[in-house]
């Protein structure tokens, strides 16, 4: 009986990690379960279509200042010397991508990211960056 209880606890842990939007690869590393078992549980959870938990209540979301994380990552298209930078603005509370821009790593791309932000994030919002000079 203890083995069944332990398995149920591990399955519950996988469901919680899936609800937190962790990748299947990270869940395999954390829990030690096989990749196929985690994929099976992910498919089962998707079919059940459980609503994702809200990180903040709706009322509190309207009364508090929003917080955005601004960051850039590089990728390449076709060849490594064809480097592009993906600029992201991610809402800190919900981890939702609010805006993105693909371009070079310069101030012009940062201005395009600012222009791509929805109007509600242009005022009364905290911005967290890696202090790259283009964000100034």
pLDDT tens for the chain, 136 residues long, are 578 888 888 888 888 888 887 888 888 888 888 888 888 888 887 776 555 555 555 555 555 667 888 888 888 777 778 788 888 888 887 788 888 898 888 889 888 988 888 888 877 788 787 777 777 7
- The token duo for 86 is 């993906």
Asked if 15 and 48 touch (Cβ cutoff 8 Å), the reply is: no
Residue 35 falls in which region: left (phi positive, over 0), alpha (psi -120 to 50) or beta: alpha
Q: What angle do CA 58, 62, 68 make, to 5 degrees?
A: 100
The predicted structure's pLDDT at residue 85: 85
Q: Taking the CA of residue 43 as centre, how many other CA atoms within 13 Å lie in the half-sphere pointing to its CB?
A: 6
State the pTM of this model. 0.50
């Amino acid at each position: 009986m203890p083995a069944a209880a332990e398995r149920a606890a591990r399955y519950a842990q996988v469901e919680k990690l899936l609800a937190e939007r962790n990748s299947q690869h990270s869940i395999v590393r954390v829990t030690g379960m096989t990749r196929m078992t985690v994929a099976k549980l992910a498919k089962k959870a998707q079919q059940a279509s459980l609503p994702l938990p809200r990180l903040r209540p709706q009322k509190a979301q309207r009364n508090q200042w929003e917080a955005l994380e601004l960051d850039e990552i590089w990728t390449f298209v076709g060849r490594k010397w064809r480097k592009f930078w993906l600029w992201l603005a991610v809402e800190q509370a919900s981890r939702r991508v609010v805006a993105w821009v693909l371009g070079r790593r310069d101030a012009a791309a940062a201005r395009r990211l600012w222009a791509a932000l929805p109007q509600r994030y242009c005022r009364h919002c905290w911005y967290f960056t890696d202090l790259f000079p283009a964000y100034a």
